[in-house]
């Protein structure tokens, strides 16, 4: 990136002002005065303006991934398992998942380098509904549905009210949509286990008003400006 653009993107001066500062000898690259505004700043260069180290404002990235099963949502894994970052082939920024999905859960996962937003959205007091589709063993009775809706004990924690509906049922399995706003470890699996139904497959299909839609498994896309605004204001 040209030096004057680099300085301008750090927010301290316009490009024209950056040129003036450079020509006047106020800019150093790696400790040496640089008077050429067209110098090409390369990765690793340390740029100082009037004795202060500067960096361009980081580009904020917001992505939605359809996470397949078999990937961890941590940035690295002690056991060497594949992480969701392995799926982001053309992203050079250091980004990280907002919240987590189990190794065997698929579906909507947001990733960003916007630490403020990630922090806000994962804070327990933040009430954004997450919608899951769970395929569970057996029939799920009305009594069990009521228990799930009202709150169940998942081992030292009683879940808050949830929205739950059966989408499809056979004698062997039921497909259930469940919406919760808490994010306890393996919460949905534990909730169904507590009423006697084992989760066979679990997919997150929405977070608040953000929907997975037709995004294919293993694929990702940038959030639209509208979606970003929604997350910032919800």
Interface with ligand URA by CB under 6 A: which residues? 101-102, 105, 186-189, 202
Least separation in angstroms between residue 171's CB and ligand URA is 25
Please say which residue, 48 or 177, places its beta carbon nearer to ligand URA: 177
Report the candidate in 40, 113, 108, 21 with the shortest Cα–Cα distance to residue 75. 113
Please say which residue, 62 or 133, places its beta carbon nearer to ligand URA: 133
Please say which residue, 7 or 202, places its beta carbon nearer to ligand URA: 202
Please say which residue, 71 or 220, places its beta carbon nearer to ligand URA: 71
Least separation in angstroms between residue 135's CB and ligand URA is 13
Least separation in angstroms between residue 121's CB and ligand URA is 15
90 classed as catalytic = no
Please say which residue, 132 or 220, places its beta carbon nearer to ligand URA: 132
Q: What is the DSSP string of 20-60?
A: HHHHTT-EEETTEE---TT-B--TT--EEETTEEE-PPPPP
Burial 104-142 (b: 16+ CB within 10 A, else e): ebbbbbbbbbbeebbebbeeeeeebebbbbbbbeeebee
Distance CA 148, CA 144 (A): 6
Strand order in the sheet with 32-33: 32-33, 27-29, 47-49, 52-54
Considering 19, 77, 86, 102, which one is annotated as catalytic?
Answer: 102
Distance CA 134, CA 162 (A): 14
Least separation in angstroms between residue 194's CB and ligand URA is 12
Least separation in angstroms between residue 32's CB and ligand URA is 52
Q: Mind telling me the catalytic residues?
A: 102
């Amino acid at each position: 990136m040209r030096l004057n653009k680099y300085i301008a993107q750090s927010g301290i001066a316009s490009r024209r002002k950056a040129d003036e500062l450079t020509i006047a000898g106020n800019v150093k690259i790696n400790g040496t005065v640089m008077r050429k505004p067209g110098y090409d700043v390369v990765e690793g260069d340390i740029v100082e303006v009037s004795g202060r180290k500067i960096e361009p404002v980081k580009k904020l990235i917001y992505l939605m991934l359809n996470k397949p099963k078999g990937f961890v949502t941590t940035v690295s894994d002690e056991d060497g398992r594949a992480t969701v970052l392995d799926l982001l082939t053309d992203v050079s920024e250091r980004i990280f998942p907002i919240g987590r999905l189990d190794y065997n859960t698929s579906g909507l996962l947001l990733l960003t380098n916007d630490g403020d937003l990630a922090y806000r959205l994962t804070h327990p007091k933040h009430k954004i509904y997450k919608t899951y589709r769970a395929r569970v063993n057996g029939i799920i009775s009305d009594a069990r549905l009521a228990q799930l809706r009202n709150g169940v004990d998942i081992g030292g924690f009683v879940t808050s009210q949830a929205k739950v509906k059966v989408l499809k049922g056979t004698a062997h399995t039921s497909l259930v949509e469940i919406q919760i706003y808490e994010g306890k470890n393996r919460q949905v699996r534990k909730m169904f286990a507590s009423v006697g139904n084992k989760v066979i497959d679990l997919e997150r299909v929405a977070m608040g008003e953000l929907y997975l839609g037709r995004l294919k498994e293993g694929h990702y896309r940038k959030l639209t400006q509208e979606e970003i605004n929604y997350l910032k204001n919800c």
